Amino acid sequence: MEVRAATFRDMKKLSDLSVSLGNVPFMLGQCLASLLIEEDEIAGFAAVQSAWHAAGSWVKEEHRKQGHTYELRNCLDTELRRLGIKVYFAIPGNDFEKTLFAKYGHTTEHTVQVRHL
């Protein structure tokens, strides 16, 4: 058995395997993985994928409640899609922030663990 870093060429096959196992697909150029190889077959893997964090939003008080926040989010989401970024996340500090993030489109909630290297 051999453990090695996945190459760019490995990623499509690895992504398909990940999806077949119920995991997320891997975005080329945004994912790194290590492979456990046995007789030229993938016997295991560990992967990380870059994630985009919602870093904030703001509109001057006199311009609020006029739809500008939706326009800003729509423009941002369009640019993210253009770049092939399909997911971004928020870590709300309170219920207001949680509600605010959710009001702009479909969200899912998950517990997040952070690994420090």
CA distance 29 to 84: 10
Parse the chain into domains and list their residue ranges.
2-49, 52-102
The pTM score is 0.64
Judge contact between 4 and 37, C-beta under 8 A.
yes
Residues 16-28 as b/e (b if ≥16 CB within 10 A, e otherwise) read eebeeeeeeebee
Ordered per-residue pLDDT tens for the chain, 117 residues: 999 999 999 999 999 999 999 988 898 888 999 999 999 999 999 999 988 888 888 899 999 999 998 999 999 999 999 988 878 888 888 888 888 888 888 888 877 787 888
